[in-house]
Structures are given as structure tokens and as C-alpha cells.
């Protein structure tokens, strides 16, 4: 069994549930308990690659955190609150600072501090904002389509955290005649997806021989069940390290066309973690009793935990090994 050479981390993802009655959940259970699609068939179409977490994430403070020289031609000024919703931005900015220690200067100020208020007044900011060479509004291309973004408030609304990579890449090109190297750009994009700053499409890599396929359908980063999905994906990353190509993971942000399409194909009512094509799983419990776990979310209290996701994946791996 091949092991992945790249570490896997938390996708900082959250879900906005659509409230449905218990009858909807039950009907979905009946239709989800069996699947004619094998893990190998699913794996040929879907999988994901994420990357390891930076352990030195900057925290917005009164004094500010600064990376890079004063004479750098690309200057990033971030005025952010020290909240979890800004974590993808902070991690991506830190990775960019490590990748470009000479050509990019990054200044991060804790919102509400005297220095942040001074900087906000200078740039005309009235809320959490990130300015790149004096601007926070840009037009970028995603999959060949032009998209207008504005780095203000939390990611998931006017922009995605991964948009920072694309804009800074372009600003480097304008200022120095060359953006990130091809290798650096690929690495930053992978880490950005891993940090939960999804771009406009699916995060995937092919593992056609996978024994277990996990599809994570994730909405906006702002919903109250964020910690649940975050913890679940962290566990999945650890399992990916263990199982390598035997485990495939794909993430579909529900705010994208791909996410909406996949939700319809799977006949789901909202965010979910689909394992081997199913959202209802029966596991052997203590004393030989079977335990049913539902990994779809349709409002109310979630019916699964991060530990449940890990247990399900391990059970399917064991089943596959016996075949």
C-alpha cells in the first residue's frame, strides 16, 4: 500500500443546514443504505489532496505582525479580528510570507487596536479588510471565468481565502515580471484548499484504486456546525496519511456549481460527508449490536461526530481487506 508523501490537515469548513423534518432524513436513510457504485468507480472520478498545517499562524495583535522587507514591491496590509473565521486568511498569508520572504511585505494588525484604526483610516476601511498594494477589490479568473472579489469581512462572502494567492501572484508578476514559481504556486494552492480557503471549484486528486472514497460537501465557512466539519476533515487527513492511495477524499464547496450539482446527484438536502456513496452506515457496536450513523446534515442537531467518520472509514477499510 502506497503512503501519501504529503501531510494532510484541516479544511476549515462549515455548513449552513436547510431545515427539513425527520421524515426527510428517514427517507434519505432508506435510499442511502445501499449503493451499486463501488469505491473504485467512485475513486476514478473523485479524490482530494490537502497539505500540512503551519504551526506558527500569526494572531492579529495590537502591535501587529510584520513579514518581509520595507522595500518589497508587493505590500499586503491586513486589518483582521482574532477570530476563527479569519484563520484561513492568516494561514495563507503566513505561507506566502515563507514562500516570498524578499518580494512580499505582509502587515497584520488586530482590528480595534490604535494602529489598526490608523491604518483603516488611511485605506478607508470600515470592516475587516485586506489590502494588496493599496487595493482590496480585484477581478480574477477562475476556470477561465472572470470574477469580481473584495477582500473585506470574512472569507466565503465577497471572496475566498485562496483568492489571496491568485491576486498576489498577479501583483508579483506586475511588479517584478514574474509571479510565484510554478512549484510554489501549486504548493500554495494545495495548502490554501487544505486551510479551508476553497476557491471556485472542486479540490481533488485521482486515486483510482481507492478502497474507500469520501466526498465532503461543504457550504459557507460561517455556520455554527463549523467545528464539526473542521474536526471531521482533520481526522480524514490523519487517515489519509495512514492509508495513502487506499483512501480518496474530495471536497465540493456547496456555494459552487460543482457542489450544487454533486448534491443533486447524490440526492442530498444539505451538507454531508458521503462515504462510499452513502450517508447511512451500519457499524458493529458493543455486544454485537449494530449501530446506525447518519453522516448527512439537514438542520437540528448533527447525527455524527468526527470520531464517527474515523470509525466508519476504518470499518470499510477492514471490510475491503477481507475481500
What does the pLDDT read at residue 134? 92
CA dist list (Å): 230 to 11, 36, 164: 6, 29, 21
Q: What is the mean pLDDT of residues 59-84?
A: 83
C-alpha grid cell for residue 150?
A: 473584495
Q: Across-strand partners of 132?
A: 76, 135
Residues 77 and 144 reside in one and the same domain: yes
Residues 150 and 119 reside in one and the same domain: yes
The number of distinct structural domains making up the chain is 2
Name the residue among 256, 166, 163, 248 with its Cα closest to residue 205. Answer: 248
Residues 158 and 229 reside in one and the same domain: no
Residues 228 and 166 reside in one and the same domain: no
Q: Is the pLDDT of residue 190 over 90?
A: no
**Whole-structure pTM value:** 0.49
- Look-up of cell digits 478502497: 211
Percent of residues, the chain, with pLDDT higher than 90 = 33
Q: What is the mean pLDDT of residues 201-223?
A: 70
Kindly report, residue by residue over 292-302, the tens digit of the pLDDT.
999 998 787 88
C-alpha grid cell for residue 266?
A: 447524490
Kindly report, residue by residue over 38-57, the tens digit of the pLDDT.
665 555 544 332 223 333 55
C-beta atoms surrounding 184 within 10 Å: 17
**CB-based burial label for 264 (10 Å; 0-12, 13-18, 19+):** exposed
10 in a structural domain: no
- Helix, strand, coil abundance in the chain, percent, nearest 5: 35, 20, 40
Residues 242 and 173 reside in one and the same domain: no
Residues 89 and 185 reside in one and the same domain: yes
Residues 70 and 129 reside in one and the same domain: yes
Amino acid at each position: 500500500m502506497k503512503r501519501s508523501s504529503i501531510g494532510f490537515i484541516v479544511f476549515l469548513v462549515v455548513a449552513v443546514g436547510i431545515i427539513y423534518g425527520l421524515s426527510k432524513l428517514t427517507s434519505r436513510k432508506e435510499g442511502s443504505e445501499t449503493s451499486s457504485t463501488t469505491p473504485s468507480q467512485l475513486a476514478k472520478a473523485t479524490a482530494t489532496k490537502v497539505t500540512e498545517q503551519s504551526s506558527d499562524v500569526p494572531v492579529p495583535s495590537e502591535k501587529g505582525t510584520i513579514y518581509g522587507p520595507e522595500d518589497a514591491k508587493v505590500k499586503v496590509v491586513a486589518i483582521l479580528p482574532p477570530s476563527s473565521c479569519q484563520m484561513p486568511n492568516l494561514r495563507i498569508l503566513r505561507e506566502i510570507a515563507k514562500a516570498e520572504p524578499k518580494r512580499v511585505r505582509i502587515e497584520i494588525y488586530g482590528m480595534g487596536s490604535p494602529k489598526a484604526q490608523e491604518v483603516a483610516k488611511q485605506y478607508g476601511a470600515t470592516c475587516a479588510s485586506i489590502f494588496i498594494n493599496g487595493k482590496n477589490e480585484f477581478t480574477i479568473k477562475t476556470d477561465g471565468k472572470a470574477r469580481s472579489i473584495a477582500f473585506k469581512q470574512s472569507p466565503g462572502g465577497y471572496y475566498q481565502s485562496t483568492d489571496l494567492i491568485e491576486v498576489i501572484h498577479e501583483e508579483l508578476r506586475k511588479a517584478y515580471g514574474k509571479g510565484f514559481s510554478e512549484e510554489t504556486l501549486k504548493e500554495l494552492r494545495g495548502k490554501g484548499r487544505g486551510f479551508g480557503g476553497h476557491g471556485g471549484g472542486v479540490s481533488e486528486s485521482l486515486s483510482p484504486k481507492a478502497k474507500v472514497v469520501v466526498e465532503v460537501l461543504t457550504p459557507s465557512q460561517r455556520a455554527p456546525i463549523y467545528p464539526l466539519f473542521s474536526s471531521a476533515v482533520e481526522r480524514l487527513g490523519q487517515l489519509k496519511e495512514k492509508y495513502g492511495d487506499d483512501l480518496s477524499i474530495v471536497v465540493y464547496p456547496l456555494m459552487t456549481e460543482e457542489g450544487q450539482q454533486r448534491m443533486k446527484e447524490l440526492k442530498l438536502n444539505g451538507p454531508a460527508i458521503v462515504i462510499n456513496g452513502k450517508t447511512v452506515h451500519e457499524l458493529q457496536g458493543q455486544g454485537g449490536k449494530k449501530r446506525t450513523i447518519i453522516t448527512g446534515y439537514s438542520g437540528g442537531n448533527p447525527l455524527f461526530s468526527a470520531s464517527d467518520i474515523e470509525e466508519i472509514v476504518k470499518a470499510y477499510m477492514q471490510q475491503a481487506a477481507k475481500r
